[in-house]
Structure 1
Amino acid sequence: MTHALNLDSYLTRIGYTGATAATLPCLRGLALHHAQSIAFENLSPFLGLPVSLDLADVERKLVRDGRGGYCFEQNLLFGQALRCIGFDVVDLAARVLWTQPDDAHTARTHMLLAVDLGGDRHIVDVGFGGQTLTGVLSLRAGTPQATPHGDFRLLRDGDQWRMQSRIAHEWRSLYRFDLSPQYAVDYEICNYYLSTSPRSHFTQNLIAARPTPTARLALRNRDYAVYTLDGGEIRRRLETSAEIVRVLDEDFGIALTNIPQLAARLDGLP
């Protein structure tokens, strides 16, 4: 990976104006600003377009073109920005458990990051859709940890860790991971499968998510939900393609220029 990330452009994109130093307050600020500014979205695989994990392509798409992306793109970009600032970052992989039993044997299809800081290890993840972390978790077992968008905790079983989020007063497992470092090649096969296979939910459904200062926004095909931080929930169905485009643009902040066949694909949504 020889491309040099333009850190100033990235910071402008996420609206971060605080100090840039390898400190916990900076890490927290960057995670929150990134998650609230760059939406989780799968428009490229949904439209049959390739998803490149080359840093130059990811930077062009998420920073310059105003798009979002899914876990590999989000955390690849975030990890490189952290390294540019001076953080010690380790790329990790996880087995997704969302909507699965806790003992399910799923593939390592999710990317997250570990950050070593002052002798302590922390977990950050700006790419898990509707439950994306907007804060930083200390790698310690069992203790609920507050973030700007709810409580999370990490459970440990030997060398395995399980990420959980508290949703409606119930702990729900998101994924299971270990601390084995991953490399760019480790993500390529999973990225190819998720972005091209007809069995991947990313090729068959329109998905977008973004946290705001007061809520989490979630779109799946025509179903749009706003989950407010005080426990409220607003749902509505987007009946027309024009409504979907407006929500993607205005609510999720996704630039929709130069995206071929978008209207036709949206018209075909169930």
Structure 2
Amino acid sequence: MTPPLDLDAYLARIGGLAAAPDTTLTTLNALIAQHVAAIPFENLSPLLGEPVDISPAAVQAKLVAGGRGGYCYEHNRLFADVLRHLGFTVHELGARVVWNQPPGAITPRSHMLLEVDTADGPRLVDVGFGGLTLTSALRLQADIEQITPHEPFRLLRDGDDWTLQARLGEAWKPLYRFDRVRHHACDYIAPNYFLATHPDSVFTANLMLARAGRNQRWTLFNRDYAEYHGDGRIVRRTLADMAELTEVLQRAFGIPPALCATAQPRLARLFDAG
């Protein structure tokens, strides 16, 4: 039997809320902002060859008690459980990631996202999409630009299919396609196993981290580190050695020092070519 969610521990993990949580859109957006600022997107478990258990108990143990981050199946599993605990109605969905894919590419349904009912209609919620994770809920309405604390987003609709796009500069870039067919926990087991273990998975071959704070995003892909500021500035650098990498992992992404030490032999391979 799954142990109950420890809401107090979760709220402590994300830094608390200014007001008592309820089922309003204000609370939903506050939880999103606090979650993505406190809990990083990270793939250290797949990179280190560790299993990724996406059961509620395992996700709570890793992301809340363990001070870790994770990827979409972990973030959105935890967030769905938190919202249900508070009384929200949550529907779990699946998406086909098309970010950096050629137009018309058919990709597997490998991403988890959420549809959350509010008094003002359903909202798209996704706290687990890495460097372009949503930092507020989006109205499920096509063809309108929706402002978030970070980039503007919009949804396009073609029949039952929706496409989420982000505006980066002057260009709209597609992130993923989805429909509103309800998913269940068992639907994520096979794609999670592929992403966590298969040699062709982007998560087993590369180091990937992201976090979104107030007016800023931080991303790391292997040795390429970037800070995106609210005024449009982008600061990029290539990390030169393990000391720089460890400093960034701990400062920008909150990775526990013990995990950095455990991961050092695998992470050192990132510098072999240099």
> Normalised by the shorter chain, which TM-score bucket?
over 0.9
Taking the TM superposition and a 5 Å limit, the aligned residue runs for 1:1-270 are: 2-17=2-17, 18-118=19-119, 120-258=121-259, 261-269=262-270, 270=273
Contact 1:129/1:210, CA 8 A, preserved across alignment = yes
| Alpha-carbon contact 1:67-1:256 (below 8 Å) kept | no
Superposed displacement of residue 159, structure 1: 0.2
Task: Give per-residue Cα distances to partners, 1:125-156, cap 9 Å, x unaligned.
Answer: 00000000001100000100011011001100
1:3 Cα deviation (Å)?
2.7
RMSD across aligned C-alpha pairs, in angstroms?
A: 1.3
Find runs of 4+ consecutive structure 1 residues off by over 3 angstroms.
258-261
Q: CA deviation at 1:261?
A: 4.3
**Equivalent pair of 1:16/1:29 in contact (CA under 8 Å):** no
Give how far 1:227 is off: 1.2
Which letter does structure 2 place at the counterpart of 1:97? V
Q: Deviations over 1:210-258 (max 9, x none)?
A: 0121211110111101111111111111111121111111111122425
Specify the code of the residue in structure 1 equivalent to 2:200.
Answer: R
Once residues 123 and 215 of structure 1 are traced to their aligned partners in structure 2, the CA distance between those partners, rounded to angstroms, is 22
Question: How far is 1:2 from its partner?
Answer: 2.8
Change in CA separation of 1:58 and 1:178 when aligned onto 2, cut-off 3 Å = same
1:48-75 C-alpha deviation (Å, 9 max, x unpaired): 1110011111111101111100000000
Contact 2:40-2:209 at 8 Å conserved across structures: yes
What CA distance in whole angstroms lies between the structure 2 residues aligned with 1:199 and 1:142?
A: 35
- Cα contact 1:194–1:203 (8 A) shared by 2: yes
> Identity of paired residues, percent?
50
Contact 1:102 1:173 in 2 (8 A): no
Work out the CA distance in 2 between the residues paired with 1:242 and 1:45. Answer: 22
C-alpha contact 2:149 2:215 (8 A) present in aligned 1: no
Alpha-carbon distance in structure 2 between the residues aligned to 1:53 and 1:249: 24
Structure 1 pair 259–56 and aligned structure 2 pair: CA distance change class (3 A): farther
**Structure 2 residue matching 1:150: 3-state secondary structure:** coil
Aligned pair count reads 270
* 1:16-59 Cα distance to aligned partner (Å, 9 max, x none): 32221110000000011001110000000011111001111111
* Cα distance in 1, alignment partners of residues 87 and 30 from structure 2: 15
Distance 1:228 1:206 in 2: 22
The structural deviation recorded for 1:260 is 7.0
State the 1:185 CA deviation: 0.8
Q: Does the aligned pair in 2 maintain the 1:205–1:220 contact within 8 Å?
A: yes
CA distance in 2, matches of 1:212, 1:255: 18
Judge conservation of contact 2:3–2:57 (CA < 8 Å) in 1: yes
Give the distance between the partners of 2:47 and 2:230, measured in 1 at CA: 29
Task: Tell me the amino acid that sits aligned with residue 232 of structure 2.
Answer: G
Contact 2:246 2:260 in 1 (8 A): no
Q: Which amino acid aligns with 1:136?
A: A
Could you tell me which amino acid in structure 2 is paired with residue 71 of structure 1? Answer: C
SS in 1 for 2:256: coil
Q: Greater shift after overlay, 98-107 or 184-193?
A: 98-107
Please report how far the alpha carbon of residue 102 of structure 1 lies from its aligned counterpart in structure 2 after TM superposition: 3.8
Aligned-pair CA distance for 1:259: 6.3
Given that 2:144 and 2:155 are in contact with CA atoms closer than 8 Å, whether structure 1 keeps it comes out as yes
Local SS of the residue matching 1:146: coil
- One-letter amino acid matched to 1:68: G
The offset of 1:112, in angstroms, is 0.3
